[in-house]
Amino acid sequence: MTTPAADPAPPAPLPLRDSTEIQGDVIAGFRKDHVCLLFLQFVDRAPAQAWLGELAPRIATTRQVAAFNRKFSAARRTSGGDDPEALKATWLGVSLTHPGIQLLSGDPAPVPRPPQGTTLEAFADGAWARAVDVGDVDDSAREHWLFGHDGGRTVHAVLTIASDTPEDLQTAIDAQREAATRAAAVIVFQQNAATLTGERRGKEHFGFKDGVSEPGVAGFDEEDPRRKGYAKEHPGTRLIPAGEFVVGRPRVRLDGDRRRYPAADMPSWMADGSFQVIRRLAQDVPGWWAQVADQLATLKQVKGAVPTNAGVEWLAARMVGRWRSGAPVHTCPTHDPVNDASATRDNDLSFADDPDGLRTPLFSHLRQCAPRDGLVDGAPVPEAFMDARRIMRRGAPYGRPFDPTSGAAGGPDAARGLLFVCYQADLVEQFEFIQKAWINTDEFPPGRAAKPGPDAMIAGRLPDVNAGVLHYESAAPDGSERRTTPLEVRRFVRTEGAVYAFAPSISTLKALAQGRLPDGTPTAARVDAFLAVPDRQRVGGACEFWMFRRDRLRTLVLPDGQDTTDLVLRPSQDLTGWPALAGVAAVDAIVPIPDLQRVGGKSWYWLFHTVSGAQAYRIVSVADGAAHTGKVEVADRGLDQWRSLTGVSHVDAVLPVPDMQRVGGASWYWVFHTVAAGGRERQVHRMISVADGDRHTDTRIRDDAGLNLWPSLAGIDHVDAFLPVPTMQRAAGKSHFWVFHPDGVRTVCVADGEQHTDTRVGDDRPLREWVNLG
């Protein structure tokens, strides 16, 4: 009796192909022959939001790009490999730098003080701050960059325009430049790139096929039914969890690896977005090939190191790990099989049988960027470890090919290179890890007597990073004799600009166009600080306060009453409208100087704000009168001027101790600030005092303690600001305050006396219930 064959299992669903949230270039890939990147700086928030509001509905989604690419690939197969002329599209993508998200959202801290060593820290730092760490030194030093350098214009947004034809690309560029002009934006830099033509198609300027080793994505690419975990019709291409490229999706599980920043700790607005690295990499083509020739001559002086008929192409292929066609040296050691399509697309490689790099040198570009199972001598490397280091590469060559017969445009000094673009969910553990731990070091793989040397194609010698010495391993045909030949290489790939950006989801783009981040609460609702208008307290049955919120301030009115709310007095104003706030991007905290309130018609304050990532303070004054003229009395200084703030890096909020103001010639305060502990950050508080007098001597009264010591703050992890309830200050021995925190506002009371017992008064209320915070 025979058993009928079972029906084949249906293919697994591919939900990512239908995503209308993930931008189309991240997973699907634009795959266009012509591309342009516009690096934009905005000078004003409102027109920038209008620009993004118009752009967001036009950003290509994964669903759109995936559907087009499927049709395009099917048409190419039908036509025998030719591009179908009837199928054309122009795609738009956009990414935002940390300053760009700050500007659009109005939030100076869209990534709340990120833990050290995390991708959030790298994003907030930007490429400029991390240039040296990733090997951008010497002639690649950031001071020489064309874009992204600290002394130049700030890049807020990077607009990607990709099209099938140069004419369609130019039409789209013209339209986007016009839109940028309407938004009063400055085009900091424009970088065009295009697929090379003719025999160079699909190759970079050194002449080698590019993009052979791109990863597949689980949930987007079909799985090979004959080989689980690998992409169908792409031998050797592993399917990587989408969370390695898209924030908030499942990631690779690494046993014992705790360095990776958990997706759960990422801001919710980053879900379905991806971190983008952009680098302009100039290539000195004749210099690199001349170097290959020099090193070949060195090897030929060592008997038996290379075959007698080995030419420059032979050694160049070993420096790259592949022949020009893309065929790996590992499986095609003698020649380039240019007419063998299966060989030129071969990505199904294992280096387990070549631990010493006798066939594919350890310093080759292929093994430095994707070591596979040849990572460690004689020991298998978990596939998960490799999967967690993958990046999704995009980009294209720019400039004319090197051709000295074509005049200056094709000469050695003409601008040419690779516009490198990649996407990942973790800047530190993916892009930066590859650059620092693999490409630039001369000790990868580690633990070898003769250091393998840096990536022979794109690194070369880097001062203070590596010695630029490669160790070429060779053996006699019978394996009886081993040789290690040192080679010296210089760098012929130069970084000319770099940017770290973030490609948000479509929903986040639309929210940013409205001036908020989609975390359920408009960013405008977060409060930085309050300041009582000195001559407008309890006047006409009301008190006036200035409310500082991101880069703006608003005057609000609080009528007398125990359970009051606020009234709008006048619209928000830019901080730049106050001379006392010149150069202040956002007010972190502001504290009245106790013995200089309404003295000679002026009131003085300590104002804390952040400059280039570090908090400083200045002393400002505000005059009585309708104009409330402000002035900087003492310029910015560091927090080290406050002895009581030793160990404090960022003052978040300050609350005067109600019954300890101007008592015995001093005033006491609770200072709330943020500290790092165990790789995470938390808010703590300490008590300080400030003496009256010209010196205002400050002293720490009590050391740092957690918010858990305040019963009234139960459930609050971070206090943004305190606001006194005007009619409830030292009433019957108690003072009431509104506490503003990310999830709402609550009322608390603090009793006079040594213990200063605090009590929660009522439940939290949504911030939107305050008129000025709606």
Instruction: Name the residue among 100, 97, 95, 124 with its Cα closest to residue 261.
Output: 124
Q: Is the pLDDT of residue 1 over 50?
A: no
Nearest to residue 207, comparing CAs of 317, 308, 335? 317
Interval 281-313: pLDDT, tens: 999 999 999 999 999 999 999 988 999 999 999
Mean pLDDT confidence for 692-707: 95
Which residues fall within 8 angstroms of residue 194, CB to CB, at 6 or more apart? 33, 34, 35, 166, 396, 397, 398
User: CA 771, CA 748: separation in Å to the nearest integer?
Assistant: 20
CA distance 669 to 688: 5
Within 10 angstroms of residue 38's Cβ, the number of other Cβ atoms is 22
Does residue 531 contact residue 620 with C-beta atoms inside 8 Å? no
Place of tokens 């935002």: 96
Residues 6+ apart with CB under 8 A from 479: none
Q: What percent of the chain has pLDDT over 90?
A: 69
For residue 364, give the amino acid letter: S
The dihedral built from the CA positions of residue 52, 58, 63 and 67, taken in this order, carries a sign that is negative
Residue 747 burial (10 A CB sphere; 0-12, 13-18, 19+):
buried
Cα(240)–Cα(391) distance, rounded to whole angstroms? Answer: 10
Compute the average pLDDT of residues 101-119: 87
pLDDT value of residue 259: 46
Mean pLDDT of 634-660: 95
What whole-number distance in Å separates Cα of residue 405 and Cα of residue 417?
Answer: 19
Among 413-422, 468-477, 638-647, the least confident range? 468-477
Q: Nearest CA to 671 among 688, 658, 649?
A: 688
- Please state, rounded to an integer, the average pLDDT across all residues of the chain: 90
The pLDDT of residue 672 is above 70: yes
C-alpha distance across the termini of the chain, in Å: 76
pLDDT band at 280 (very low <50, low <70, confident <90, very high): very high
DSSP string over 496-536: EEEEEEEE--HHHHHHHHTT--SSSS-GGG---EEEE-TT-
Is the pLDDT confidence value at 754 over 90? yes
pLDDT at residue 3, as a whole number:
37
Q: Quote the CA–CA distance of 724 and 737 in Å, as a whole number.
A: 4
**3-class DSSP assignment, residue 155:** coil
Is residue 602 very low, low, confident or very high in pLDDT (cuts 50, 70, 90)? very high
In percent, the amount of the chain with pLDDT more than 70 equals 92
CA 126 to chain centre: 6
Strands (E), 341-456: 392-398, 417-424
Distance CA 574, CA 771 (A): 19
Structural contact between residues 235 and 346, judged by C-beta atoms closer than 8 angstroms: yes
User: Model confidence at 341, in pLDDT bands (50, 70, 90)?
Assistant: confident
376 backbone dihedrals φ, ψ, rounded to 5°:
-125, 140
- Decide which of 768 and 367 is more confident: 367
pLDDT value for 762: 79
Tokens representing residue 14 in the block: 């591919």
Three-state helix/strand/coil letters over 174-215: HHHHHHHHHCCEEEEEEEEEECCCHHHCCECCCCCECCCCCC
Q: Looking at mean pLDDT, say which of 68-77, 571-580, 639-648 comes out highest.
A: 639-648
Rounded CA gap, 392 and 211, in Å?
A: 10
Which single residue is written with the structure tokens 């499942």?
250
Decide: residue 378, CB within 10 A, 0-12 exposed, 13-18 middle, 19+ buried: exposed
Is 80 exceeded by the pLDDT of residue 590?
Answer: yes
Give strand ranges (E) for 228-353: 239-240, 274-283
Q: Say how far apart CA 377 and CA 688 lie, in whole Å.
A: 58
Contacts 24+ apart (CB under 8 A), 447-455: 447/376, 447/377, 448/362, 448/377, 450/484, 450/486, 452/357, 452/361, 452/362, 452/363, 453/362, 453/363, 453/487, 453/489, 454/363, 454/368, 454/489, 455/363, 455/364, 455/365, 455/368, 455/369
Residue 351 neighbours by CB under 8 Å, 6+ apart: 330, 360, 367, 371, 372, 373, 374
d(CA 156, CA 158): 7
Residue 124, pLDDT score: 95
Instruction: Give buried/exposed letters for 222-247 (b at 16+ CB in 10 A, else e).
Output: ebbeeeeebbbebebbbbbbbbbbbb
- Peptide linkage before 445 cis (omega within 30 of 0): yes
Q: Residues 62-78: pLDDT tens digits?
A: 999 999 999 998 888 88
For the chain, what's the residue count?
Answer: 774
Report residue 112's pLDDT band, with 50, 70 and 90 as the boundaries.
confident
At residue 276, what is the residue type?
Q
For 529, residues 6+ apart whose C-beta sits below 8 A from its C-beta are 547, 548, 587, 588, 589, 590, 653, 721
User: What are the residues facing 498 on neighbouring strands?
Assistant: 279
Cβ neighbours, 10 Å, residue 563: 9
Could you give phi then psi for residue 176, rounded to 5 degrees? -75, -30
Q: How far apart are CA 517 and CA 508, in angstroms?
A: 6
Residues contacting 338, CB < 8 A, separation 6+: 323, 324, 325, 327, 344
Is residue 514 within 8 Å of 53, Cβ to Cβ? Answer: yes
pTM of the model: 0.70
Q: pLDDT for 236-273, tens place per residue?
A: 899 999 999 999 888 887 765 544 666 657 888 999 99
pLDDT at 4: 39
Phi, psi of 424 (to 5 degrees): -165, 165
Report the pLDDT averaged over residues 83-87.
Answer: 81
The single-letter DSSP state of residue 114 is: P
pLDDT at 5 over 50: no
Q: Which long-range contacts (CB under 8 A, 24 or more apart) does 564-571 make?
A: 564/725, 564/726, 565/769, 565/770, 565/771, 566/770, 566/771, 566/772, 567/771, 568/771, 568/772, 569/544
Q: What is the Cβ-side half-sphere exposure of residue 648, based on CA atoms within 13 angstroms? A: 31
